[in-house]
Structure 1
Amino acid sequence: MKSNLRSAALGLCAALALAVVPLQGSGAGTSTTTLAVGVTVVSNCKVAAAALTFANYVSGQTENVDTTTTLSYSGCPNESLKFELNDGNNVQGSYRGMRSSGGSVLGYQLYRNANYNSLIGTGSNAVSFTAPSSGSGTVTVYGRIPANQSVPAGSYTDTVGVTLTF
């Protein structure tokens, strides 16, 4: 009887082992596809600004002092560009201002044209245009110190932020 029991137990174990082992060709399947990968590389549009340097201003003089500089751009796509210039660090009412080390302010303004009648700044005063196919070029900025300002002698400076949006 022990041998029959032992045979039955071994048979049961063998049957359970077969039930756990996956059968070859049991219908397990696979499916494949592809994943599309892509990126758009945008240009590295760069801007540079040459210093805007005025000639000497004599305190109280009766003539304006005018000068120009350029904003350069390169590597820009052939699409809409927009230059914006902020008010600088020393805005004085309707003028930007250059400040001396003693704290005095000499008013000036920046324009987009040689007639000095169209301000350059932000928003509606920004300079917008389409970049040429070369992706590079310059924009002229016209600066003016209005006449009849009496300020102490000294060196006057300001910093204006330039933003190029593309």
Structure 2
Amino acid sequence: MKTREWCALKVALQSLLAVVLLWGLIVGSANAIITAQFKAQATIVAGCAVLGTGSLFGTLSFGTYPGTGTGGVNGTFVQNTSLTLACTPGVTLNMAINGGSNFTTVRNVMQSGNSLQLPYRIYTDAAHTNEIIVNQNVPLNISSSNNNIILPIYGVLQLNGFSPSGSYTDTLTVTLTW
């Protein structure tokens, strides 16, 4: 064999050996089994959500009375049924209500298109013993079934004996914190 042919054969054998060794590494590593563990973790925090549509949470309705009516009349809060307030278990829910659009020294409903006002107060209980002070947090006792919380809002409107007929309204903002 000539030197030149011998060199070519030597290079070919070296290349073949390199391919075989590389193949052995690839196949050998494909057969290796490595076992390790990892952890799955989540942290859940307490919270609440208002679900549904609409921005009006409800209406405190005092009803219809004659303009000559006097004394206090009770109002009932009717929560918007297209909205649901839901909280996770263990939440401490607080409610604060502002003074409304017509606040003076007390909350007032105002006659539409006029400046005539009638004062009212709001409470967290039907007996009207726990008044909701303007912008002060009131802790709410919520049950273990926290998926449809009804806000405890009760009102007393003071009729003055001479109120022109018409619609009297106020708009309040309720702030819920937890």
Q: Could you say whether these structures have the same fold, taking a TM-score greater than 0.5 normalized by the shorter chain as the test? A: yes
Q: CA deviation at 1:117?
A: 4.6
Task: Give yes or no for contact 2:102–2:170 (8 Å, CA) kept in 1.
Answer: no
Closer, same or farther in 2 for the Cα pair 1:145/1:123, shift >3 Å?
closer
Which residue of structure 2 lines up, in the alignment, with residue 96 of structure 1? 107
Q: Is 1:120 aligned with 2:132? A: yes
Aligned length: 164
Q: Distance between the aligned counterparts of 1:83 and 1:66, measured in 2?
A: 24
Asked whether the 8 Å contact 1:66–1:145 carries over to 2, the reply is yes
Q: Which amino acid aligns with 1:92?
A: F
Q: Supply the AA of the counterpart residue of 1:153.
A: S
Residue 154 of structure 2: aligned partner: 142
- Provide TM-score, normalisation by structure 2: 0.60
- Find the partner of 2:97 among 57, 66, 86: 86
Name the SS of the counterpart of 1:11 in structure 2.
Answer: helix
Under a length normalisation based on structure 1, what TM-score does the superposition of the two structures give? 0.63
Q: Which runs of 5+ in 1 are unaligned?
A: none
- Structure 1 residue 32: Cα displacement: 2.7
**2:50–2:85 Cα contact (<8 Å) kept:** yes
- 2:3 maps to 1:4: yes
| 1:69 paired residue number | 77
- Percent identity among equivalent residues? 26
Partner in structure 2 of residue 56 of structure 1: 64
Q: Give the Å deviation of 1:110.
A: 1.1
Using a 3 Å threshold, how does the CA distance of structure 1 residues 10 and 106 change in structure 2: closer, same or farther? farther
For 1:68 and 1:76, locate their aligned partners in 2 and report how far apart those are by CA, in whole Å: 24
Root-mean-square deviation (CA, aligned residues, Å) is 4.3
Answering whether residue 36 of structure 2 is matched by residue 33 of structure 1, we say yes
Distance in 1, Cα, partners of 2:58 & 2:36: 55
